[in-house]
Amino acid sequence: MLADLDVGDAILDVVGPLGRPTHIEKFGHVVCIGGGVGIAPVYPIVCAMKAAGNRVTGIVSARSKDLLILEDEMRGQCDELKIATDDGSYGHKGFPTEILQQMISADDKIDLVVAVGPVPLMKAVCKVTKPADLPTVVSLNPIMVDGTGMCGGCRVSVGGETKFVCVDGPEFDGHAVDFDLLTKRLAAYKDMERQAMDDHACKLEADISRVGRER
């Protein structure tokens, strides 16, 4: 609906911010991992952790160098920034979890890991940190509807208990999250989302085509 608004249109109100704020304190060495667009929400966490006196290592990843965002901003706040790309076009070729595993294997003392990104990435991070008994915080992004905890659309299972991300989260102990259930819930509207994409007609492409014909 927001995309259909024209210049001069108005909306009644905006609700937010929702949920609970990130817990910030001086932990020691904090590793903040951001994958894809997850780099954007992890950036203010990096800033806050650094301001609290922590040593901050950032690990950011993208499919390729041209899809990497906020590198300069992250580098300006992190004590050390490590980069991974799937295709090897920049930094480490592979996954950010491989860099994290290298740090753990090298006995680089880590006090807290924060991961924000696609569910498979956060699940993989927790798989790496659990054997090392490293506290790990993940930021979840399930389907949300009303944002007040009433609809139940964003419910997740954490430590065997049902939580609502919009009011109880979005951050949870990664080792307690049922990622398999979360993955299934995220796929609930997959067929409808695919149909919507198939039915979508890009207005920009249509305008370019029209201009081309007029010329």
* 3-36 per-position pLDDT tens digit: 889 999 999 888 778 899 999 999 999 999 999 9
Q: Contact, 166 vs 19, CB < 8 A?
A: yes
For residue 81, what pLDDT band results from cuts at 50, 70 and 90?
Answer: very high
Contacts of 141 (CB under 8 A, 6+ apart): 119, 165, 170
In a domain? residue 49 = yes
CA atoms of 168 and 175, how far apart (whole Å): 16
One domain for residues 87 and 185: no
For residue 213, what pLDDT band results from cuts at 50, 70 and 90?
Answer: low
What's this model's pTM, rounded to 2 decimal places?
A: 0.86
In a domain? residue 1 = no
Q: Sign of the C-alpha dihedral, residues 83, 137, 105, 75?
A: positive
Q: Which helix (H) or strand (E) holds 172?
A: strand 171-173
In a domain? residue 72 = yes
Containing structural domain, residue 33? 26-139
Lowest-confidence pick of 26-40, 127-141, 158-172, 184-198: 184-198
One domain for residues 67 and 118: yes
- Number of residues written out for the chain: 215
CATH at residue 61: 3.40.50.80
Q: What's the mean pLDDT in 134-162?
A: 93
Q: What is the pLDDT of residue 149?
A: 87
How confident is the prediction for the chain on average, in pLDDT?
92
Tally of domains within the chain: 2
Q: What is the pLDDT of residue 100?
A: 98
- In the chain, the N- to C-terminal Cα span, in Å, equals 33
For residue 206, what pLDDT band results from cuts at 50, 70 and 90?
Answer: low
In a domain? residue 18 = no
In a domain? residue 132 = yes
Q: Contact, 39 vs 60, CB < 8 A?
A: yes
pLDDT in tens, 40-73: 999 999 999 999 999 999 999 999 999 999 999 9
In a domain? residue 164 = yes
One domain for residues 31 and 129: yes
CA atoms of 134 and 149, how far apart (whole Å): 30
